[in-house]
């Protein structure tokens, strides 16, 4: 028996293995920090050693940890532990089935949770270790799991051991269910098997060179013929029976153990290892570790939620959410030590220059280095950077500096002026903003602008001789190097500090200290304001920069926003890439080399304008809590109940309803629209508040409806509802007011019902009397008819026989014989009529017996053998009307006569089939000479029997061919019409 490596044992080795790996491997140093959002115990996660991630029917995240199961809705946490009934705090597997039930695999077995109650399932005694590592559900709804490498299936409240048939020592290491609903199982050293139609068959066979332990099976999202197989030594792909390595490409290249795998919605491949996570995207492989924004701890699971977010569970660092490639960050961990506050940005000789407190830093490729002159000197306490049209770098600090190939040169006259911003007009003049006013520098001479004795914070060249100055009290205008009155429409800015200005084809934008962004339309002479209400993260805006597509990037006190001109107005675009919440710095914004660079208080943020925007995802909305206040106390109501479950008294008409929009990208940015049907017709305007209070509702039936909206306006596909009823007080109840009316109506209706019932009973009694009289008349008629007509026919027969004796001529004898035969025939026919008139004949049994008698008598003196089969006492219960039994009798009498006259048969069989679904089958078969079935339409007799069959709603089926006999079957249904009246 092979010792199969088990996951809990592996976890105990991760930390030691990671330490050894770091000692023997030099991890690559990245110059940027990628976008990961970290959730750990300080945020509310129950325990930092996360094992698996899943999502429930309400789109809430569930995390298995070594401290229990933790639910996360984007803001709040909820835990399931031993204290709440879980069989163990060591949770290894998380799964939600099609019915919305949560399943948890723990160190001591399997548990389920329906939102209210925990159920622990008993494992078979044959399984030594109760570790549940994987849980899946097949298309039949069966729950399967792997426990100690044994395959088990839920049967009631127990786990039943199953086997992969045909595989000796079938240790199951992994399970999955494909979109076809079939169950796939990885068997140690054997390969992958699929369960179809109750049988296991090989699906992928493992080559000898491949690691024998498959820890995960995953089908490609686009190609179902491509299957990924994860092992501890790497990731492999199987396609058309050929298995090749995906990661690492060569066995032995990777010193880290592979622990988890996921293909995300963008078809990127993620491989979690004992030292960070790898991502294969676009032909390149990225290794995310602590050095570039992730963690060095083992990654135990990778999960993509319904919104397309990629989550990573780690052993010791909680969970992470990957924010995509929209931006990266450089901070003190990436070469900006002691320089993380970036105050200025500029381009100089195809390099990015950063101005910091400690001096100038240049970024060349992925390497940071100090920018100095030939003497090793730099400029510190940088406030701004600027590159002029000649390629000179201008540095704003406690003085103004110019830097080029000759080194740093201080601008004479700026020694006592802190330089806050630079600008260059179309004549090459350099304009300088300082707290002491505005200066311009030309011909190596610095001059002050008369009348600009104010704190100047930003400068913008309008073209020609016009310069716009941003100050702490709005904007000022300089024309021909003289201060002049500003445009009238810009007076709206006079109470704002202008931190930055940007000229675009569709207006000039102003960044303000607390009023967001203003846009000046020079042609229309109008100014428009955009604030948090329009989607800005903060009304404090520090920097503005536009890219090559006309997109304006806004650095604010709470991160990045984007604005674009569409149609006839500017629009603040929603954040679909989860830009970080970080404070930008004034004038520290630059578009360079197809990237947007923003200097912040925590380093350098680099945004990629060309990255594909994440697909818009709508939130899921649910009602969390409903409370009714009565007598000063709050009473909890069932949010999932209907109005019948939630009937509230008149004094319980004060309701408070709270709800939640599950949006894991950014739960705090969700807005809500709601209405109370029965009181309001329209939904409210979008609001941030996730609760509403109705203090005094009038009596009536209500339904509260709420929907959630994402930051980009996507409305939740579901609308959460809560129905309830406010019962009016006793003195206002309708039933009390109309009680008397209902009593009267009840009496009238009761009397009417009694009279109607008595009338029906009387009619039934009359009909019974009529029916009994009819039976008596039939009985009396049959008896009288038999006595009278029978005696006379008998006398005719006797007299004809006597006459036959006395005459001698043959022609006279023949005539007398014909009289006798006709009298006998008339007697027989009369007997059939009398039989039909007899009430005793009103059932199928008597009818069939009568047909038997006819057949026996008809074939008595012939060489034809007559048999009858299938007549049983059960047919006595089948009542027939006189019309039915008469027509059935005449049909078979005609058929029997036809057999006698025309069939030349030796054997005739009358057979009755069993009564099934109220249908009767009676067949007559002979072995005579037969005829062509097409000829059944000929002959007057056959037409008569078909007509009689039609009268009783039946049908005749003829099967015959020459020399092969004939079979005629009568089929008819037993209905109320067949019953005697």
> CA–CA distance from 46 to each of 4, 72, 108, 119, 893 (Å)?
31, 10, 19, 21, 91
Same CATH fold assignment for domains 7-324 and 497-613 = yes
Distances in Å between the Cα of 905 and the Cα atoms of 465, 868, 900 are 127, 15, 8
Reading the block at residue 484, the tokens are 């002049």
Please report the pLDDT score of residue 7 as a whole number: 41
pLDDT, one tens digit per residue, over 663-684 is: 998 888 899 999 999 999 999 9
pLDDT in the model for residue 777: 66
From the candidate CATH numbers 3.40.50.2300, 2.130.10.10, 3.20.20.150, 3.90.1170.50, the one assigned to the domain spanning 7-324 = 2.130.10.10
Distance, in Å, from the CA atom of 169 to the CA atom of 157, rounded to the nearest integer, reads 27
Take residue 893 and report the two structure tokens written for it: 């009498």
How far from the centroid of its chain's Cα atoms is residue 497's Cα? 49
Identify the band that residue 21 occupies on the pLDDT scale cut at 50, 70 and 90. Answer: very low
- Report the distance separating Cα 901 and Cα 663, nearest Å: 90
The pLDDT of 217-230, averaged and rounded, is: 95
Q: Which residue has the tokens 């009338």?
A: 759
CB 417 within 8 A of CB 400: yes
Contacts of 500 (CB under 8 A, 6+ apart): 458, 470, 510, 511, 541, 542, 543, 544, 586, 587, 589
High-pLDDT (> 70) share of the chain, %: 87
CB contact at 8 A, 608 and 325: yes
Alpha-carbon distance of 128 to 165, in angstroms, equals 21
Q: In terms of residues, how long is the chain?
A: 981
Q: What is the mean pLDDT of residues 265-276?
A: 95
pLDDT confidence of residue 947 = 87
Three-class SS of residue 369? strand
- pLDDT above 80 for 828: no
Check residue 902 and report its DSSP letter. I
The pLDDT-based confidence of 844 (bands split at 50, 70, 90) is: confident
Give the bridge partners for 507, in sequence order.
Answer: 504
Alpha carbon 20 to chain centroid, angstroms: 44
pLDDT reported for residue 575? 75
pLDDT in tens, 903-943: 888 899 999 887 777 888 899 999 988 887 666 656 667 78
pLDDT at 779 over 90: no
Residues 826/829/835/837 CA torsion (nearest 10 deg): -80
Between 2.40.30.170, 3.30.750.24, 1.10.357.10, 2.130.10.10, what CATH number should domain 497-613 receive? Answer: 2.130.10.10
Compute the average pLDDT of residues 114-143.
92
pLDDT at 95: 97
- Give yes or no for residue 481 having a pLDDT over 80: yes
Fold of domain 844-981: Heat Shock Protein 90 (3.30.565)
pLDDT the model gives residue 325: 82
CATH 2.30.30.90, domain 620-731, yes or no: no
CA distance 912 to 949: 16
Q: Please, what is the average pLDDT of the chain?
A: 87
Q: pLDDT tens digits, residue range 286-329?
A: 999 998 889 999 999 999 999 999 999 999 999 999 988 888 88
What are the sequence ranges of the domains in the chain? 7-324, 497-613, 620-731, 738-841, 844-981
Q: What pLDDT does residue 827 have? A: 62
Whether the predicted pLDDT of 8 surpasses 50? no
pLDDT at 814: 72
Burial string for 503-512 (b: 16+ CB within 10 Å, else e) reads beebbbbbbb
Q: What percent of the chain has pLDDT over 90?
A: 55
Q: Strands, DSSP E only, in 331-416?
A: 342-348, 351-356, 359-364, 367-370, 384-387, 393-396, 400-404, 407-410
What does the pLDDT average to over 476-505? 93
Q: Is the pLDDT confidence value at 82 over 70? A: yes
Of the candidates 132, 214, 148, 134, which has an alpha carbon nearest to the alpha carbon of residue 177?
A: 134
Confidence tier at 843 by pLDDT (50, 70, 90): confident
Contact 89, 82 (CB under 8 A): yes
Rounded to whole angstroms, the Cα distance separating 258 from 272 reads 6
| Residues 280 and 293: beta-carbon distance below 8 Å | no
Confidence of residue 27 (pLDDT cuts 50, 70, 90): very low
In this predicted structure, the answer to whether residue 364 has a pLDDT above a threshold of 50 is: yes
Torsion, Cα 80 81 83 84, to 10 degrees, reads: 30
State mean pLDDT over 463-487: 93
Find the distance separating the first CA and the last CA of the chain, reported in whole Å. 82
Whether the pLDDT of residue 771 is over 90: the answer is: no
Ranges 209-223, 426-440, 809-823, 885-899: which has the least confidence: 809-823
In order of 102, 346, 606, the CA distances from 593 in angstroms are: 49, 12, 11
């Amino acid at each position: 028996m092979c010792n199969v490596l088990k996951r809990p044992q592996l976890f105990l080795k991760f930390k030691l293995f990671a330490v050894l790996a770091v000692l023997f491997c030099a991890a690559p140093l990245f110059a940027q920090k990628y976008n990961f959002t970290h959730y750990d115990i300080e945020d509310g996660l129950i325990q930092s050693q996360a094992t698996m991630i899943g999502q429930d029917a309400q789109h809430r995240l569930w995390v298995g940890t070594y401290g229990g199961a933790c639910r996360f809705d984007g803001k709040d946490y909820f835990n399931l532990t031993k204290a709440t009934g879980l069989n163990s705090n060591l949770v290894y597997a998380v799964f939600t089935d099609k019915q919305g039930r949560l399943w948890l695999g723990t160190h001591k077995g399997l548990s389920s949770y329906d939102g209210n109650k925990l159920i622990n399932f008993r494992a078979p005694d044959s399984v030594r270790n109760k570790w549940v590592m994987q849980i899946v559900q097949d298309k039949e709804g069966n729950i399967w799991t792997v426990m100690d490498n044994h395959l088990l299936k839920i049967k009631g409240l127990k786990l039943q051991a199953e086997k992969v048939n045909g595989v000796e020592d079938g240790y199951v290491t992994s399970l999955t269910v494909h979109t076809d609903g079939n169950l796939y199982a990885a068997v140690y050293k054997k390969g992958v098997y699929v369960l179809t139609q109750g049988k296991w068959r090989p699906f992928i066979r493992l080559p000898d060179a491949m690691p024998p332990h498959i820890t995960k099976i995953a089908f490609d999202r686009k190609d179902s013929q491509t299957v990924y197989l994860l092992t501890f030594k790497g990731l492999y792909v199987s396609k058309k029976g050929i298995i090749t390595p995906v990661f690492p490409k060569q066995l032995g290249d990777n010193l880290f153990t592979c622990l988890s795998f996921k293909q995300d919605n963008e078809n990127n491949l993620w491989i979690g290892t004992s030292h960070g996570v790898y991502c294969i995207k676009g032909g390149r492989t990225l290794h995310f570790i602590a050095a570039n924004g992730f963690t060095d701890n083992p990654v135990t699971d990778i999960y993509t939620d319904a919104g397309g977010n990629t989550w990573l569970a780690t052993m010791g660092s909680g969970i992470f959410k990957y924010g995509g490639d929209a931006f990266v960050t450089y901070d003190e961990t990436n070469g900006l030590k002691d320089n993380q506050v970036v105050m200025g940005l500029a381009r100089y000789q195809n390099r990015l220059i950063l101005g910091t407190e400690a001096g100038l830093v240049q970024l060349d490729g992925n390497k940071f280095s100090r920018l100095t002159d030939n003497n090793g000197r730099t400029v510190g306490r940088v406030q701004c950077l600027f590159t002029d049209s000649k390629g000179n770098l201008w540095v704003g600090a406690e003085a103004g500096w110019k830097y080029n190939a000759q080194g740093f040169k201080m601008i004479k006259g700026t020694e006592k002026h802190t330089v806050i911003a630079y600008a260059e007009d179309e004549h090459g003049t350099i304009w300088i903003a300082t707290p002491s006013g505005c200066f311009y520098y030309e011909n190596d001479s610095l001059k002050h602008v008369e009348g600009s004795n104010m704190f100047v914070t930003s400068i913008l060249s309008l073209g020609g001789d016009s310069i716009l100055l941003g100050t702490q009290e709005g904007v000022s205008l300089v024309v021909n190097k003289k201060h002049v009155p500003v445009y009238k429409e810009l007076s709206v800015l006079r109470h704002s500090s202008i931190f930055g200005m940007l000229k675009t084809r569709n207006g000039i934008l102003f960044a303000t200290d607390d009023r967001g962004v203003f846009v000046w339309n020079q042609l229309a002479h109008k100014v428009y304001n955009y604030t948090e209400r329009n989607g800005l993260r903060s009304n404090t805006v520090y920097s503005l920069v536009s890219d090559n597509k006309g997109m304006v990037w806004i650095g604010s006190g709470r991160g990045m926003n984007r604005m674009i001109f569409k149609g006839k107005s500017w629009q603040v675009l929603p954040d679909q890439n989860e830009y970080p919440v970080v404070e930008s710095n004034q004038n520290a914004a630059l578009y360079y080399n197809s990237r947007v660079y923003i200097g912040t208080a925590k380093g350098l943020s680099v945004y990629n304008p060309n990255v594909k925007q994440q697909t818009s995802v709508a939130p899921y909305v649910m009602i969390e809590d409903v409370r009714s206040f009565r007598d000063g106390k709050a009473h909890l109501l069932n949010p999932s109940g209907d109005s019948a479950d939630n009937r509230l008294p008149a004094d319980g008409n004060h309701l408070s309803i709270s709800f939640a929009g599950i949006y894991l990208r950014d739960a705090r940015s969700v807005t809500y629209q709601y209405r109370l049907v029965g009181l309001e017709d329209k939904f409210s305007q979008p609001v941030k508040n996730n609760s509403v209070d109705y203090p005094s509702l009038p009596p009536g039936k209500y339904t509260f409806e709420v929907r959630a909206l994402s930051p980009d306006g996507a409305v939740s596909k579901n609308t959460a509802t809560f129905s309830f009823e406010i019962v009016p007080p006793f003195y206002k109840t309708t039933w009390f007011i109309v009680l008397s009316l209902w009593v009267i109506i009840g009496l009238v209706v009761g009397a009417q019902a009694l009279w109607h019932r008595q009338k029906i009973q009387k009619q039934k009694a009359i009909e019974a009397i009529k029916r009994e009289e009819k039976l008596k008349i039939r009985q009396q008629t049959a008896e009288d008819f038999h006595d009278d007509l029978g005696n006379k026919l008998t006398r005719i027969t006797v007299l004809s026989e006597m006459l036959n004796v006395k005459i001698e001529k043959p022609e006279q004898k023949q005539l007398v014989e014909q009289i006798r035969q006709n009298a006998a025939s008339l007697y027989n026919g009369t007997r059939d009529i009398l039989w039909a008139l007899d009430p005793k004949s009103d059932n199928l049994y008597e009818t069939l017996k009568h047909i038997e008698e006819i057949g026996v008598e008809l074939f008595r003196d012939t060489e034809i053998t007559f048999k009858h089969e299938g007549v049983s006492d059960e047919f006595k219960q089948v009542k027939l009307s006189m019309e039915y039994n008469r027509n059935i009798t005449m049909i078979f009498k005609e058929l029997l006569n036809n057999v006698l006259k025309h069939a030349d048969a030796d054997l005739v069989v009358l057979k009755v089939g069993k009564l099934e679904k109220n249908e009767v089958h009676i067949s007559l078969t002979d072995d005579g000479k037969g005829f062509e079935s097409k000829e059944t339409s000929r002959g007057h007799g056959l037409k008569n029997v078909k007509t009689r069959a039609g009268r009783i709603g039946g049908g005749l089926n003829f099967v015959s061919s020459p020399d092969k006999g004939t079979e005629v079957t009568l089929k008819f249904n037993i209905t109320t019409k067949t019953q005697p009246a």
